[in-house]
Amino acid sequence: MNIGVFDSGLGGLTILKSLLKELPEYNYVYLGDNARVPYGNRSAETIYEFTKQAVDFLFKKNCKLVILACNTATSNALVKIQKEYLPKYFPDRRVLGVIKPTIENIKENNHLRVGIVGTKATVNSGAFVREIHKVLPKAEVYQQACPMLVPFIENGEKNEKILKLILEEYLHFLLQKKITTIVLACTHYGLIKKQFQDVVGPKIKVISEGRLVADKLRTYLNKHPEIEKNLDKKYQTEYFVTDLSPDYHELIRLFLGSHWKDTKINLINLSS
Ligand code: DGL
Q: Note the pLDDT tens digit of each residue in 19-78.
A: 999 999 999 999 999 999 999 999 999 999 999 999 999 999 999 999 999 999 999 999
pLDDT at 254: 83
pLDDT at 45: 97
186 catalytic per annotation: yes
3-state helix, strand, coil in the chain (%, to 5): 50, 15, 30
Q: Ligand 1 centre and the CA of 32: distance in Å?
A: 11
One domain for residues 254 and 203: no
In percent, the amount of the chain with pLDDT more than 70 equals: 100
Give domain status of residue 46, yes or no.
yes
pLDDT at 258: 87
Tally of domains within the chain: 2
* Domain endpoint, select from 209, 231, 253: 209
Domain range for 82: 2-97+211-267
pLDDT at 247: 84
One domain for residues 91 and 110: no
Q: Ligand 1 centre and the CA of 36: distance in Å?
A: 11
Q: Note the pLDDT tens digit of each residue in 254-264.
A: 889 888 887 88
Q: Using a 6 Å cutoff on CB, does residue 29 contact ligand 1?
A: no
Give domain status of residue 272, yes or no.
no
Task: With both helix axes pointing from N to C terminus, report the angle between 12-22 and 246-256 in degrees, rounded to the nearest 10.
Answer: 40
Give domain status of residue 168, yes or no.
yes
Q: Using a 6 Å cutoff on CB, does residue 187 contact ligand 1?
A: yes
Structure pTM? 0.94
CATH code where residue 112 lies: 3.40.50.1860
70 catalytic per annotation: yes
Q: Using a 6 Å cutoff on CB, does residue 8 contact ligand 1?
A: yes
Q: Note the pLDDT tens digit of each residue in 139-164.
A: 999 999 999 999 999 888 889 999 99
Which amino acid is located at 146 in the chain?
C
One domain for residues 215 and 258: yes
One domain for residues 182 and 126: yes
Q: Using a 6 Å cutoff on CB, does residue 154 contact ligand 1?
A: no
Buried b (16+ CB within 10 A) or exposed e, 208-235: bbbbbbbbbbeebbeeeeebbeebeeee
Give domain status of residue 75, yes or no.
yes
* Domain endpoint, select from 209, 227, 252: 209
